[in-house]
Amino acid sequence: MPEKTFYIETFGCQMNVHDSEKVRGTLAQRGYRQVETVDEAGLVLYNTCSIRDKAEQKVFSRLANFKRQKAEGRIFGVLGCVAQHKGEDIFEQAPHVSLVCGSASYNELPALLDRVEAGEDRVTGLSLDTEDTFETPLTRRDNPYKAFITIIEGCDKHCAYCVVPFTRGPERSRTSESVLEEARRLAGQGFGEIQLLGQNVNSYRDPSEAGWDFAQLLTAVGRVPGIRRVRFTTSHPRDFTPQIIEAIDENLVLCDQVHLPVQSGSSRLLGRMAREYGREEYLDRIRLMKQARRNIAISTDIIVGFPGETEDDFQQTLSLLDEVEYDSIFSFKYSPRAGTTAEKFEDAIPEVEKSRRLAILQEKQRLIQLRRNAELIGREEEVLVEGRREKSQQWIGRTTQNRVLNFTNPAQDLSDLRGSYCRVRVTGSGPNSLVGELVAKENAPAFTGFRILQ
Ligand code: SAH
Ligand code: SF4
Ligand code: F3S
């Protein structure tokens, strides 16, 4: 029997990145070895994203490169959000694809692969009719220091622009016990940082008797011995409770970072987007975070050029940036998506105007970040060291606020710092990162066990 090999490329959000880790483990157990190039692979998988048209096009341009190779016995599979959204249409667009499987069907992946391996063509796993989440102890994690844990899958909101409810199905939460068990196992394996994942983590509702909400789960994960950092993403503003901020305030293991996508600063537009909150309600959440004892970094997502966005709406988004002073933002031009409510909105904004607004928004935020990062010069930060940049002789670290802090070791000591938590003094700043110098290697954990800050 020839050796079975697979190649996987992942597009999209962290949920997809983590799904690919689970798929890799599932394939490894079936005797597949992962390879780094398509040329070496018998099975080629693309785990896809359809959040914007550009993201969706990526998989089709990849597939277009390989038309002839199917004849050589290579199997092509499309996984993830484009798979779920386009379904069998993918076979029409790319006839050399044999497998199309959405994220809600990954539990069936071994059975689907059996069929593909037996020579069956056009095999699909497209049911969204599921109560299950996809969990497996086989997960092969990419990063040796930081581990993702999915706590909730799917989304029950219906924001007018968004395909996610169609691509990932209804919300399903995992039991708190299975989340905690995974966290304990990861801590035992030496992962110091955990990131809890979900399209809307705040809607988490423990399906077991305990019935915990997200703040309760977060608190419990933060108390797992051996874990030094816990992050979570994404939070929906409507479901973001004061208890989450209290949890962060009470436990230093929970990072000083909240990603709270606003999408627009105009209540009128937020209404059209069906976001279920207005500017003032959103700002109430921000005020609560700013009043916290911890110095919580706040980031957001913004869409410009949503249908009907007037110059006044856009100006309100700009003024929101001034008011909140985000630590970072992800900003996008609106991209119409098939099947969403907004697809039928007629007052589209021309592409050039979307581009103009995006450039203005990004420049404004760049100046805010430049100023805010400069304020950090002179401070000492704890970083998790994630990598090394040989050219500049710098270690790459991340602060609790999720800022990149590149630093040198003035002691000229050659020991490898990767994976350790170091104390670093900030000596310089740019819009997207900080630079600094090592103060102490292996910073002692901020605390041992749970404690209330004074
Ligand atoms: N569940 C998360 C968002 C997931 S998608 C939440 O509710 O915040 C990530 C981001 O992509 C969104 O926050 C939004 O800013 C952007 N996005 C989603 N659909 C889009 C579209 N059709 N066009 C442009 N950007 C979009
Ligand atoms: Fe999409 Fe809205 Fe759900 Fe986020 S909350 S995934 S933007 S529908
Ligand atoms: Fe993309 Fe699907 Fe994530 S559409 S952003 S990969 S949930």
244 lines ligand 3 (CB under 6 A): no
Nearest alpha carbon to residue 174 among 229, 231, 217, 142: 217
Q: What is the mean pLDDT of residues 352-379?
A: 98
Pocket test for ligand 3, best of 81, 82, 153, 172 (most atoms within 8 A of CB): 81
Q: What is the mean pLDDT of residues 326-339?
A: 97
303 lines ligand 2 (CB under 6 A): no
Q: How far is the CA of 162 from the centre of ligand 1 (A)?
A: 6
CB-based contact 99:119 (threshold 8 Å):
no
Query: Helices (H) and strands (E) in the chain — how many of each?
Result: 13, 19
276 lines ligand 1 (CB under 6 A): no
Q: How far is the CA of 373 from the centre of ligand 1 (A)?
A: 26
- Domains (range + CATH), the chain: 4-125 (3.40.50.12160), 380-440 (2.40.50.140)
Q: The tokens 């990526």 sit on which residue? A: 58
27 lines ligand 3 (CB under 6 A): no
Locate the ligand 1 atom nearest the alpha carbon of residue 330 and give its number: 15
Task: Give per-residue pLDDT as tens, 197-209.
Answer: 999 999 999 999 9
Pocket test for ligand 3, best of 17, 49, 128, 161 (most atoms within 8 A of CB): 49
Cα 343 to Cα 353: distance, rounded to the nearest angstrom: 18
Task: Identify the nearest ligand to the CA of 276 by its number.
Answer: 2
Residue 4 has pLDDT above 70, yes or no: yes
Q: How far is the CA of 235 from the centre of ligand 2 (A)?
A: 10
Task: Give per-residue pLDDT as tens, 63-87.
Answer: 998 876 666 779 999 999 999 999 9
Cα 51 to Cα 98: distance, rounded to the nearest angstrom: 23
275 lines ligand 2 (CB under 6 A): no
Task: Give per-residue pLDDT as tens, 405-419.
Answer: 999 998 877 789 999
Q: How far is the CA of 273 from the centre of ligand 3 (A)?
A: 18
Q: How far is the CA of 47 from the centre of ligand 3 (A)?
A: 10
Residue 448 has pLDDT above 50, yes or no: no
How confident is the model at residue 453, as a pLDDT? 34
Residue 451 has pLDDT above 70, yes or no: no
**Nearest CA owner, ligand 1 atom 1:** 199
Residue 61 has pLDDT above 60, yes or no: yes
Locate the ligand 2 atom nearest the alpha carbon of residue 275 and give its number: 2
How confident is the model at residue 71, as a pLDDT? 60
How many other C-beta atoms can be found within 10 angstroms of the C-beta atom of residue 31? 9
How confident is the model at residue 444, as a pLDDT? 60
**Nearest CA owner, ligand 2 atom 2:** 159
The token pair that represents 373 in the structure block:
């990062």
Residue 345 has pLDDT above 50, yes or no: yes
Locate the ligand 1 atom nearest the alpha carbon of residue 157 and give its number: 7
Q: What is the mean pLDDT of residues 40-69?
A: 92
165 lines ligand 2 (CB under 6 A): yes
337 lines ligand 1 (CB under 6 A): yes
DSSP 350: P
Q: How far is the CA of 93 from the centre of ligand 3 (A)?
A: 21
Q: How far is the CA of 54 from the centre of ligand 2 (A)?
A: 18
Task: Give per-residue pLDDT as tens, 141-192.
Answer: 989 999 999 999 999 999 999 999 999 999 999 999 999 999 999 999 999 9
322 three-state secondary structure: helix
How confident is the model at residue 130, as a pLDDT? 80
Task: Give per-residue pLDDT as tens, 265-322.
Answer: 999 999 999 999 999 999 999 999 999 999 999 999 999 999 999 999 999 999 999 9
Task: Give per-residue pLDDT as tens, 15-38.
Answer: 999 999 999 999 999 999 999 999
Task: Give per-residue pLDDT as tens, 366-395.
Answer: 999 999 999 999 999 999 999 999 999 999
What are the residues whose beta carbons fall under 8 Å from the beta carbon of 35, sequence distance 6 or more? 5, 6, 7, 41
Q: What is the mean pLDDT of residues 39-43?
A: 93
Q: How far is the CA of 354 from the centre of ligand 1 (A)?
A: 16
Specify the higher pLDDT residue, 65 or 351. 351
Cα 297 to Cα 263: distance, rounded to the nearest angstrom: 18
155 lines ligand 3 (CB under 6 A): no
**Nearest CA owner, ligand 3 atom 1:** 49
236 lines ligand 2 (CB under 6 A): yes
300 lines ligand 2 (CB under 6 A): no
Specify the higher pLDDT residue, 73 or 351. 351
DSSP 201: G
Q: Report the b/e string of 192-223 with b at 16+ CB within 10 A.
A: bbbbbbbbbbbbbebbeeeebbbbbbbbbbbe
Q: How far is CA 21 from CA 34, 56, 142, 180, in A?
A: 11, 21, 7, 19
Q: How far is CA 288 from CA 222, 244, 256, 296, 400, in A?
A: 21, 10, 14, 10, 19
The token pair that represents 313 in the structure block:
């709406």
Task: Identify the nearest ligand to the CA of 155 by its number.
Answer: 2
Q: How far is the CA of 378 from the centre of ligand 1 (A)?
A: 36
What one-letter code names the amino acid at 280?
E
Pocket test for ligand 1, best of 301, 358, 362 (most atoms within 8 A of CB): 301
Rounded percentage of the chain residues whose pLDDT exceeds 90: 88
Q: How far is the CA of 39 from the centre of ligand 1 (A)?
A: 34
Pocket test for ligand 1, best of 49, 303, 343 (most atoms within 8 A of CB): 303
